[in-house]
Amino acid sequence: MRALQTYLAGVSFSSLAMGIQVVLLPWLAVGVLALDAEQVGWVQASVLLPSLLLLLVGGAYADGADGGRRLPQMLITLGLVHGLMLWVVFSEWLSLYALLVYGVMLGICQAFLQPLRDSMLPRVVKPGDADDLQRSVIKISLCYFAFQGLGIYVAGQQQTLEISVLLLIQVLGVFLAAFCYSRLPKISPPAESVQDQELGERLGSGVRSLMAIPLLRQMIGLVAFNGFMHMGVFIVVIPLLVRDVYGLGADYFAGLQLAFVVGNVAANLGLLRRGAVQYPGRSVLFCVFYTGVLLLAIGAKPTVTGLLLLVFCWGCVTGVASSLGKSIVQQLAPAAQRGRVMSIYQLALFGMAPLGALACGYAVDYWGGLQVLFASGIISAVLFVATFMLPGLWQLQQASLQDNN
């Protein structure tokens, strides 16, 4: 139990820094530099594009490396990246190009961080216990979103806190996370050792494992859609909506981000209280439909309060989909290749997100933000109807997760 608490502390500190980044980076582009929609899309994509290129490499690296040593090192590197941006801001060199470089460096670090973090989960929970795994993943998600919400709240205080102070808090957060992860106990290597495999061989075996399990293929496809359509809309259209449609500033944008995270926290608390979900795949599919309905509602241009409530509901839906989706993939993935399979999961989400961000940026310039929301909502509803043709994920039961087929 102490190991799980240490792991959760590491998640919490790193999530605090991530929460600040979620608000600070896009608002530097939208509110400080006043960039147009296409440029905002490129700034957001600069963080996510490295995932498209490096997440599979990160997963293979995680399976072949000692995460207890490599994860703290990568977090320290991330702290130095935030420190470099702190120097840029202090020197008054902030520009579009500085944001793009900063985003790319953040993306490179994150491409390796997530697989390393996932590969260390067996240090604190037994993956063979489906119920324990599901509850542990929900607890991790709860800490992630709760402290991300705290970071978002802190980032929203830009009228009283300097940007340099926010960047300094990020540096401290990731350094504390590195210390926590370094304190986790060591575990024996899996039966199938990957230490002596070439990187290309590790990549290939991870992809083959995923392709051999139909339920994993369906989950990855669904996550890829969420990354392209829903995440792309959220990170590009929402900040532009705040500035161009509602005429509001960083405090309201931070409020929306906080509402989204509070929704995530509420959803995970509800999952913890409810216990194991009998049909997790079915719940994930319904989340696609609910998100589509919410996008249509946001596209109808609700009041300021109404938008906050809708974004809160969006966070609830995302929290359920994220926790249950990760628990499904964690359980289905072969133990010796979990880092690689989870990296493919992350690649599907964060690799498609930059493409979605770029597409949204150009679509908003051409059609407008409200029209893009309507189109995204309709496409999501159509996909939900189409999932009835994929009975495997729809019929998946929690008790059957140990059957990798």
Helix/strand/coil for 308 = helix
Provide the domain limits for residue 243: 2-181+199-400
Query: 91 pLDDT exceeds 60?
Result: yes
Residue with the larger pLDDT of the pair 135 and 95? 95
Q: What is the pLDDT of residues 295-349, one digit of tens each?
A: 999 999 999 999 999 999 999 999 888 888 877 777 776 666 666 677 677 777 7
Query: By the 8 A CB rule, do 56 and 206 touch?
Result: yes
Q: Is residue 190 part of a domain?
A: no
CATH number at residue 263: 1.20.1250.20
What confidence tens digit (pLDDT) does each residue in 347-361 have?
A: 777 778 778 888 888
Domain count, the chain: 1
> Quick one: 274 exposed, middle or buried, by C-beta within 10 A (0-12, 13-18, 19+)?
exposed
The string of pLDDT tens digits covering residues 248-275 is 887 888 889 889 988 988 988 888 777 6
Compute the distance between CA of residue 119 and CA of residue 131 in angstroms, rounded to an integer: 19
Q: Classify 394 as helix, strand or coil.
A: helix
388 in a domain, yes or no? yes
In 138-262, the DSSP E strands lie at none
- For residue 293, being part of any structural domain is answered with yes
Residue 405 domain flag = no
Does residue 192 sit within a domain?
no
Distances (CA, A) of 35 to 102, 254, 363: 16, 18, 16
Separation in Å, CA 361 to CA 140, 174, 238, 247:
32, 30, 11, 18
pLDDT of residue 128: 54
pTM of the entire structure? Answer: 0.68
- What are 88's two structure tokens? 């840029």
Report the pLDDT value the prediction gives residue 402, as an integer from 0 to 100. Answer: 47
Residue among 350, 353, 333 at smallest CA distance from 137: 333
Q: Is residue 380 part of a domain?
A: yes
Tell me the per-residue pLDDT of 16-70, one tens digit each, with 9 for 90 and over: 999 899 888 888 888 878 888 788 888 888 887 886 777 677 766 766 655 567 8
Residue 231 lies in a domain: yes
Asked if residue 189 belongs to a domain, the reply is no
Reported as a single tens digit per residue, the pLDDT across 125-135 is: 665 555 566 67
